[in-house]
Amino acid sequence: MMERKPVIAVIGGSNTASPEAVQLAEEVGFLIARADAVLVCGGLNGVMEASCKGAKRGGGLTIGILPGSDARDANPHVDVPIVTAISTARNAIVVRSGDAIIAIDGSYGTLTEMAYAFDLKKKVFGLKSWELEKIGVPGDLYVAVKTPREAVDRAIEEAKRRAR
């Protein structure tokens, strides 16, 4: 039986993404692709677009779970647009699709995705994202990381652990 590739969900700010977050997301996407993993995200702009751009630069596959009803809304770096027409409820699909989650920057949409992940007992690796350890989110679910490399290495390790 062939082992499937790890799927890493990248979540983060769209219209609110800072230039630093965009740069980090592109590096994360590139490293996900180089680790021979698949990137899944919300498929739109900001962190999502930057991570997909990086993944394409690294030769990877990108999946965008879109909130609307038109595949043309996907950013230009999405290989597989999944049209849901369910608005922000698609956040649950993004998180359920990932074996591990990397959060970069983000606002309330990102926070809801993190909550879904915690409810599903999936680890979130936060890179310049919400500081949830300060409010008591358990360390076995939320891990603050310092670099794109640490985020991807830990997420890939977690994805492979979950697949066993």
Mean pLDDT of the chain: 94
Q: Which amino acid is at 33?
A: A
Q: Which CATH number fits domain 7-163: 3.30.300.250, 3.20.20.80, 3.40.50.450, 3.40.50.300?
A: 3.40.50.450
- Which position has the higher pLDDT, 162 or 96? 96
**pLDDT recorded at residue 69:** 97
Helix (H, G, I), strand (E, B) or coil at 150: helix
Share of the chain above pLDDT 70, in %: 98
Using DSSP, how many helices (H) and how many strands (E) does the chain show? 5, 7
CA distance 90 to 93: 5
Q: Which two tokens stand for residue 163?
A: 């697949």
Region 21-26: mean pLDDT is: 98
Residue 1 pLDDT exceeds 60? no
